[in-house]
Structure 1
Amino acid sequence: MTRIALVGAGGMAGVYADRIDAIDGADVVAVASPSSAESFVDERVPSATAYADHEQLCANEAVDAVAVLTPTHTHREIVADVAERGIDVICEKPLARTLEDARAIREAVEASGITFMTAHAVRFFPQYAEAKARVDDGAVGEPGVARTKRAFGYEGARGWFDDVEKSGGVLLDLAIHDFDYLRWLLGDVEHVFTRHTDWSREGTSEVSHSLVRFESGAVGHVEAWWIEVPTIPFTEAFEIAGDEGHIEYDIDEVAPIEHYGMEATSAPRDPVGDDLPLRKDGYYRQLEHFLDCLETGSEPLVSVEEGIESMRLSLAAIESAERGEPVAPAEVSDR
């Protein structure tokens, strides 16, 4: 049995607890959070032990791996502490808030020799993985253009997400999903040109559009936004075109399994909810891959270096939006 600890007790902790529960041979045995570990354990994993922080957890619990699911700006300290104890880690994206912190994470991982994975779950969602496999098999010929969209509405203030100094905003927290996917699909990036706008009521709404030029000559269009309008459902889409074909996917064109019962709900669809019709979603497949790497000693698909490079592209997009001109990822230093 692989004993897993969750550091963080927010929304992603619920996603991980649910998926780990569905995987044979894995178990959540501990949860650490300064404010909500006990209530989370009571509601989601009653067999686990609650701790106030990761240090207390690691000092008192024998675990095989830790999932770091805390706010982005806290990743550096937690990963470094856990790695120093020789415990394997899967860390939620983005890897860190700054490149300085990301490099510190890389140093800690390399010094300890642990298995480390950056949790870029989009690579594991079936529709994205299938499109990547088809492109690799030549289904579209030479890829020339790819277009992605990722967006949702929300209600009210969202705490640290609304603080750009902690979250990095929509370009680092949300657009990074598709920046990472397009890097995986199309290779290294020459430069990115981004337009961005935002406004605030209770929370901070942000809209962004990025044009990405790849070293291969391919072009990517990345649309990412979150808006304080709770009736807007989560949406995602992609198109990939080459000289011999075209692949497209749009969540709005996919008819999921529907169940009509006595109770109805008007809530927007939730990409990380625990009521998905297919249990082996990208989060499940991502954790399954990570656990397989722990067992076999193989390198995870998304290494610490991959996490850094996708993060660098997001930071280049932020800098481009500020400067009003294209920015190469190589230009980004320690912001």
Structure 2
Amino acid sequence: MASRNASVCDPVRPLLVTEDPNLLDEVLRLAADARVELEVAPDPAAARTRFGAAPLVLVGLAAATACARARLPRRPGIVLVVAEPVEQPPWELAEALGAEHIAVLPAADPWLVDRLVQAAGAPRPAAVVAVLGGRGGAGTSVLAAGLAVTAARAGLRALLVDADPLGGGADLVLGWEALEGLRWPALSHGAAGVTAPALVDALPSRGDLAVLSWDRSETLAVPPDAMEAALDAGRASRDLVVVDLPRRLDDAAVLALAAADQTLLLVPAELRACAAAARVAAVAAAHTSALKVVVRGPAPGRLRAREVARALGLPLAGALRPEPEVARELERGQPPAGTGRGPLAALCQRILDGLDLGMREPVA
């Protein structure tokens, strides 16, 4: 009951990462008992496109070290599966992998069947997209907000997370600074123990979009456990989580970067910006391999978007043409891409289309 070459439109299934034929046979037998189909990937490279969306990820012992080194997104629901005799469970390897459980077969057969049954009916976790600036003033907050707004206009539940304590505040970008709700200082001081739906419900929101941002009081660093709580809440109760990252990555930003299914490096089409972006990309690459470039015009030296991407050695996610109207809309308190028209809205739509979020027609 394995599916090895499913298209992006297929149902999301539990994922097994192994090239061990004996383990494959054992887990497929358990999946048959659970009446659950599995995706099977032989290595982390083949698993990457399904790793974040799968409701449950099973990693074979032989593949676990490679998966831990591959900087796959950190996520809940990973199980390290052991089918050969071991003197003691490989706890250190499980920790490096981010696994919540170790299933030693055949003793764990009934437990694993139950987990597969639960996963078959589990909701799909939200996709996480991080946005990182190639240089200061690149416009990451506008792009991040535009992605979240575009998703919400399509009827998806979106969460925008402002991870930059020195930015102006994502609520200001949306024009929501007057809305009541939980902000980082309160969450950082101990609100991380609330349930995922309650945490998201406590944030400033309108319609299908919620935002976790800063107030205008003291400037604090985000504690990693608070960022983890926010990401877990977003993945459990939203369809999309967009994180606006600072260029100088602190511990919380690194955690968000590692959790992202895709990271967009926004680079103005300027020579000095490309040089700065190369340094940012080198730092980010230590924590993620899902890095793509968005090139923003204008291009005073006529640099083409593909030339910028080629110089950085990264895939091109898209190019953003100049749009003076966005700045005027921000001054009037209107959110980026709020009308669904213009270059920013079109780029955000193309990026989200590539994430297989099941987006519906935009709400008028």
Shorter-chain TM-score category? 0.3 to 0.5
TM-score by length of 2: 0.32
Which structure: larger Rg? 2
Task: Specify which structure has the higher proportion of strand.
Answer: 1
